[in-house]
Amino acid sequence: MRVEDITRYAVGALRGYRTRTLLMLLAMAIGVAAVVVLTSLGEGARRYVTDRFASLGSHLLIVIPGRAETRGGAPATLMGETPRDLTIADAMALLRSPHIRRIAPISLGGAPVSHGSRERDSAIIGTNADFLDIRHWSMAKGQFLPRGDDERAAPVCVIGATVRKELFGVQPALGEWLRIGQHRFRVIGILESEGHSIGVDTEELVMIPVAAAQTIFNNPSLFRIIIEAKSREAIANAKQDILNTISARHQGEKDVTVITQDAVLATFDRIFKALTMTVAGIAAISLAVAGILIMNVMLVAVTQRTSEIGLLKALGAPGRNILALFLSEAILLSSAGALAGMALGQLGSWLVRHFYPEVPAYAPGWAVLAALGIAIITGGVFSILPARRAARLDPVQALSRR
Amino acid sequence: MIILDGIHRAFQVGDQTVHALNGVSLRIDAGEYVAVMGPSGSGKSTLLNVMGLLDRPTAGTYHLDGHDVTTLSDEQLAATRRDKIGFVFQFFHLVPRLSAAENVELPLMLAGVDPTQRKDRVAKALAGMGLADRADHRPDQLSGGQRQRVAIARATILEPAVILADEPTGNLDQQSGRDVIAIIEELNARGIALVVVTHDSMIAGRARRRIQIVDGNVESDTVRETRES
Ligand SMILES: Nc1ncnc2c1ncn2[C@@H]1O[C@H](COP(=O)(O)OP(=O)(O)O)[C@@H](O)[C@H]1O
Ligand SMILES: [Mg+2]
């Protein structure tokens, strides 16, 4: 038999039994669409998170007081050991490293902020002038914290848009004084809204010089030091310098933890890739289910078409031809189903992107190819049994039925 | 052409063995016209199936055109069926989703005949059966007689040496039955051997040779004197 005849005959048979054809198409399509949509979600989530994390800044290192145990990962503070304070002087000492460009010490806390009769609780970040550049933030109005000696507590602050609105309403805020705890600060700038930057909402913030924050919170230790290395290549050296400098200043104790943005990014990347693989795997199970469905439907088809098979044998078709006919039917069907499923899946991820534009939900190429491949192979493999049954039918028995 | 020698065919039904054929020896020459008769269950269909290579005998030998066909493989049997034998069934066995023309085309397709030649041959075959205007009709749009004529066109499109017909008129009214018989007799006149299983003594009376089967044995095998026509 010619290949084009086998194909034409198989297509004819598929069109002759519309209900079962549509059912099988649907089963395959749903399986493939599930793989495409779920992996596009996984991939979208991965890119969403890593993009956000990358937007923290470039070549960042973060110094946290307390040593991460090599095994546990919890800083020593949690283990009951009291580390030495991480001070502003420690932070400034790090600037001597040739691999470090900028440093922003950070002191973090919350306090009531008031202006006249209006008051709200707000997150307070104490830091220095370099913070703005390290985080790539910008100002809506006025100035950021002034440059100068970080140990000096100038009574100035920069506030976010929400804080401004709640404390000042429609009144101008720049140049006005507000009260944080027992201290008075003059508003010198309003932060630009940065959308959803990881960890903080700039609109809800009040920022003051780090030394002032330490006074308010009555805590001489920094919460973090954010460091920008001179380049990507400098990150490793910067980390080494940080550990050496701190250890020299802390009587030989390397009692800080340094995490690099790259390492965190890589970790996120790994986690989300694993997640994507997992959902792809789960979705692929639906393809196997579709395969079993195909097997059943093909078995029914063989029973339904017993006399047709007997006839083909009487007309001179060897078992091999019958096998080829039924296999091509199943493979054509699963290919069509797979393609339909891919279209459906792409539509699905388009809808995700349409309704959640911030999530770049594109199914990775490997997932799409794997879904197509698995669908077609499953269709073929699961129809081997029915096709062989057809090929082995006894023609006399097959023809004895009307 | 067909030489059967001591053909047995036994079926195992539960713990019982049913002997459908009990040592049949027969010789049918090219171009013969043979009617096979006998009571129901006597083994007529089984005999035809063995002759048509659809069934293998349990014992005995079968020579077709001088070749021993009892030892052929599935593949070789299929090829021999395709090239030498045409079947006509009581229930027509047309593929319901295919048109008359496509049904007739099946043997050509299975034989891998060039598609450009097929259309012509199919059209001629259908025209020969008086069905030129029914080529695109599906079986359910045809009468019983027309269906059987499509089946005959299909059985003869590859010009077989013998046509095996198992009660070809069994499912037809008298008139259609007569038409069908007339058509296959015409094929016989062109030199195709004809083996027809029938209960209709009128049809059997037209055949030159009549074989009576009882309990899986040839009970009588008579050749009518040639009448001058
Ligand atoms: N596949 C089979 N399994 C068991 N017994 C069968 C089978 N085919 C035919 N027989 C038996 O063989 C005998 C002959 O059957 P068959 O050739 O169909 O008779 P006829 O065509 O003359 O009516 C019957 O007794 C029948 O029951
Ligand atoms: Mg019978």
What are the pLDDT digits (tens) for B152-184? 999 999 999 999 999 999 999 999 999 999 999
At which residue do the structure tokens 């054809």 appear? A21
State the pLDDT at residue B225: 72
**Residue B88, pLDDT score:** 95
Q: Return the pLDDT at B214.
A: 95
Architecture of domain B2-223: 3-Layer(aba) Sandwich (3.40)
Contact A74, A243 (CB under 8 A): no
pLDDT of residue A197: 57
Q: What is the dihedral of CA B114, B115, B117, B118, to 10 degrees?
A: 120
B11 touches chain A (CB under 8 A): no
pLDDT value, residue A321: 93
CA-B38 nearest atom, ligand 1:
22
pLDDT of residue A72: 47
The shortest C-alpha distance from A391 to chain B (Å) reads 11
Burial B209-219 (b: 16+ CB within 10 A, else e): bbbbbeebbbe
pLDDT given for residue A196 in this prediction: 55
Alpha-carbon distance of B152 to B177, in angstroms, equals 13
Residues flanking ion ligand 2, Cβ below 5 Å: B 45
pLDDT of residue A202: 85
Q: CA dist A301 to A4, A54, A291, Å? A: 22, 56, 15
How many A from CA of B44 to the centre of ligand 1?
8
pLDDT value for A71: 45
- The answer to whether the CB of A61 falls within 8 A of the CB of A229 is yes
**Which of A14, A304, A315 is most worth mutating to test chain B (most B CB atoms within 10 A of its CB)?**
A315
Contact between B91 and A310 using a beta-carbon 8 Å cutoff: no
Q: What is the pLDDT along chain A (402 residues), one digit of tens a residue?
A: 889 999 999 999 999 888 888 988 998 899 999 999 999 999 999 888 888 877 778 889 999 988 765 444 455 455 545 567 899 999 999 999 999 999 999 999 999 999 989 999 999 999 999 999 998 888 999 999 999 888 888 999 999 999 999 999 889 999 999 999 889 999 999 998 876 555 678 888 999 999 999 999 998 899 999 999 999 889 999 999 999 999 999 888 888 899 998 888 888 888 888 988 888 888 888 888 888 888 888 899 899 999 999 999 999 999 999 999 999 999 998 999 999 999 999 999 999 999 998 889 999 898 899 999 988 998 899 999 999 999 999 999 999 865
Strand order in the sheet with B33-37: B85-88, B162-166, B193-197, B33-37, B209-214, B217-223
Q: In this predicted structure, what is the pLDDT of residue A280?
A: 86
pLDDT on residue A80: 47
Q: Do B93 and A399 touch (CB under 8 A)?
A: yes
Residues 6+ apart with CB under 8 A from B146: B100, B131, B134
Q: Identify the pLDDT of residue A177.
A: 94
The H or E element that residue A395 is part of is: helix A395-400
Q: What is the pLDDT of residue A68?
A: 60
Question: How confident is the model at residue A195, as a pLDDT?
Answer: 63
**Contact between residue A6 and residue A329 where contact means Cβ atoms under 8 Å apart:** no
Place of tokens 């299929």: B78
| Ligand 1 centroid – CA B16 distance (Å) | 13
**Average of per-residue pLDDT values in chain B:** 93
- Give the confidence band of B228 by pLDDT, cuts at 50, 70, 90: very low
With contact defined as beta carbons under 8 Å apart, do A359 and A353 qualify? yes
Which pTM does this prediction carry? 0.76
- Does the pLDDT value for residue B140 go beyond 80? yes
For residues A86 and A372, give the distance between their C-alpha atoms in angstroms, rounded to a whole number: 56
Q: Which positions 90-119 of B are in contact with A (Cβ < 8 Å)?
A: 91, 93, 95-98, 106-107, 109-112, 115
Which residue's CA is the closest to the ligand 1 atom numbered 6?
B11
Ligand 1 centre distance from Cα of residue A312 (Å): 22
Mean pLDDT value across residues B70-93: 93
